[in-house]
Chain A
Amino acid sequence: MEKLKAFIIISIINLICQNLLFAEDLDKYHRASLYSIILKHPEQRFSDEIIEAFKSIPIPDRFNDHNLKHTVLNAPIIKELTKEEIEGAYKDAIWNMLNRNQIGGRLVEKWFNYSPTSQGFDMTLIKKRGLYDASLLDINVALNTVRGKAILEDAGEELLSHTYILVNDIRYADKTTQRNLQGFAMMAGLFASSFIPGASAVAGTLYTSGVQLNDLVVGFKVYVTSYLFRLDWNKDVADHFYSNLWVEPEKPDSNEKYSIFKKNMSSFKLSYLGCTTIYSGKTSLAGVQNESDMFRKVCTRAIDTSISELQKQFDEFKVFSHLISTDPYVSYIGLKEGMTEESKYEVLEMSLDENGKTKYTRKGIIKPIKGMIWDNRYMAEFENGYDSSILGTAFEVVSGGGFYPGMLIREIE
């Protein structure tokens, strides 16, 4: 077993060195796009620190960054509810807040890259994220050719309809919050009670540099409830947008057409998918140099866990990774994505049909090799027991075959 492990590790290192040369090619697949928001609770302890930590957390690299100008919104304060009324009430308050700020329309505006300079939309971002060819740059060509229309339809299905809004409600877990949230979450049936793995060990240990932290910061824990919404984009919405709301840049009527678009921003709707609540539990001080490191570590891991829990609930929110090698089978995915030894992944071949539309064909199923799961959690490299020799998760085949580097993998039930 140890010899096998050593062989796999050496192979991985070799392959990683080789694949760094081809990293750009392996990166070519359609990612979902994410707008991540935090709700502000100014009345709560550590509110400022939580917001600062959140603002320093980038969008996970498996998503396109679709953040809008504001990523910090006021947490709604809702009426005290009876048990019968509580379900969905907070979610409705958030949904109303997003609609009031016309978030659907603003996400569409970002997709079509509105520029005050050119005073119009263009297809640059769609082309870049969709990896489409240059013919898509001209919307008039795209709308008037069979291939162009197919690509626009593909862009709609693959990109715009996979635009998500994640609203994160992060609360410091003091006794009052624990009591309130447990009551709230239990009544609403939301309490996932997911603990971040590895958090039970070494709590309270000082980092070797002997950094002293305030006791409250050492024991800093949070509850995170993450609400997942999706931009509604279908054929009807697309037809309406391209026919009636497209703003051609640098035309005499561009300003007027943009005003029409702005008046219609509310017509772009969001759908609510669901939510999850996780509790960070204790987090080790390994790697923590100062208080802001601690806040960032706790919040980053909590949000990563939230995302992986939501991906388990909603297939459409699952992300791809790709096989970087086939001997052994390795991918840059691991504990951060909620992987366990029971996780299974479908291997997909991405291709384009004759009209240029994307299709995915399952070629098989793989699962992680025991003891070879990559710990890619935030600041994992400082944890006791971190195996720096594992630089990607190694997999074994459950079914299928004919896999090659660049194929996509995605978790399945």
Chain B
Amino acid sequence: MNRFLSILLSLCAISISAQAQFYNPGDIIEIDGHKAIVFETDDTGTHGKAMYVKAYRGVDDPWCNSGKHSKRLPDLTNREDGQFNTLQVLNYAHKNDALASFPVFTWCEKLGKNWYIPSVNELEAFINFWLGNNIVLEWDDDVENEIEDNNIFYKTINNKLLDAGGSAFINGVYTSTVDKGGKVYVFQFDRKKNSWKFKLKSKTGLGQDCVGRAFVKF
């Protein structure tokens, strides 16, 4: 009995240590069978947020293709929690048998219950990661101070997404946050000015060039 308990405890310890993975921003991980890029972690490195490497695009009116349903949606002004906003849309869609009216949300739901369309603040956090604004340099190495790779940081991240079988992060990514005027925040990057902003677009006015991305917490 004692021997059985010790074996069981050892197996548990192995299982726990195997689960205690530490992640850094930029790591490619797999959640629910889908590859995602980590962009934010807590101090322990074991929890954070990641973005699915693949994107949802090429569909007209991906956010909502029904004027009737777009006006009846509950409040989606939450800037912090995209998971909350996504659940609000999906609950409405299921209740009103209107899943087909919300293509990107339907796509997201099929990825798994943990996946969601990001809020505006969550998308901004990813954007800052993508632009290299959040880099923490390695200070402890004994390596001489060299000019590091002078590649544009977001191109490095886009290459990682492509290498993982996904799509580059580009203009036109939209959020689940809707402003008080009922419009969706859409990411716009100006390469000439090297600055970016959120444009506001109608829920039913997003074109095929607009891009849906799914986030997950781990």
Contacts and interface: CB of A to CB of B under 8 A. Distances in A.
A97 B131 CA distance: 13
A161 interface: no
B94 interface: no
B195 interface: yes
Interface in B15-58: none
B190 interface: yes
A79 B147 CA distance: 26
B6 interface: no
Interface in B143-189: 145, 147-148, 150-153
A42 B148 CA distance: 11
B112 interface: no
Interface string A170-193: 000000100010000000000000
Interface string B191-218: 1111111100000000000000000000
Nearest to B148: A72
Contact of B150 (A47, A79, A80): A47
A102 B137 CA distance: 10
**Size band of the B side of the interface?**
20 to 34
Nearest to A44: B194
Contact of B195 (A73, A79, A102): A79
A106 interface: yes
Contacts of A55: 147
A69 B194 contact: no
A77 B136 contact: no
Given A42-B150, A43-B152, A80 B139 contact: no
A100 B139 contact: no
A405 interface: no
A287 interface: no
B135 A74 contact: yes
A76 interface: yes
A70 B131 CA distance: 19
**Size band of the A side of the interface?**
20 to 34
B2 interface: no
B145 to A, nearest CB: 5
Contacts of A43: 152, 191, 194
A141 to B, nearest CB: 31
A243 to B, nearest CB: 25
Nearest to B142: A116
Interface string A70-102: 111110111110000000000001001100111
Given A74-B135, A77-B131, A101-B139, A180 B193 contact: yes
A51 interface: yes
Contacts of B190: 80
Given A42-B151, A72-B147, A80-B195, A101 B137 contact: yes
A230 interface: no
A68 B139 CA distance: 9
A40 interface: yes
B136 A100 contact: yes
Contact of A74 (B132, B139, B196, B197): B132
Interface in A31-51: 40-43, 47-48, 51
A69 B145 contact: yes
A77 B194 contact: yes
Interface in B89-148: 124, 131-137, 139, 145, 147-148
A256 B124 CA distance: 38
Contacts of B192: 176
A85 to B, nearest CB: 11
B216 to A, nearest CB: 24
B153 A74 contact: yes
B125 to A, nearest CB: 12
Contacts of A97: 133, 135
B151 A70 contact: no
A100 B25 CA distance: 14
A47 to B, nearest CB: 6
Nearest to A40: B150
B196 A41 contact: no
Nearest to A97: B133
A102 B131 CA distance: 20
A338 B11 CA distance: 72
A153 B194 CA distance: 46
Given A69-B139, A97-B133, A51 B150 contact: yes
B185 to A, nearest CB: 12
Contacts of B139: 68-70, 101-102, 106
A235 B113 CA distance: 54
A346 B92 CA distance: 75
Nearest to B190: A80
Given A100-B134, A176-B192, 7 more contacts: A40-B150, A72-B148, A74-B153, A77-B195, A79-B195, A96-B133, A101-B139
21 contacts: A42-B151, A42-B152, A43-B152, A43-B194, A48-B150, A52-B147, A55-B147, A68-B139, A69-B139, A72-B145, A73-B137, A74-B135, A77-B133, A79-B196, A79-B197, A80-B195, A80-B196, A93-B133, A96-B133, A100-B134, A102-B139
Query: Sorted from nearest, which 7 A-B pairs have the closest CB atoms?
Result: A80-B197, A77-B131, A80-B195, A74-B132, A42-B150, A76-B133, A42-B152
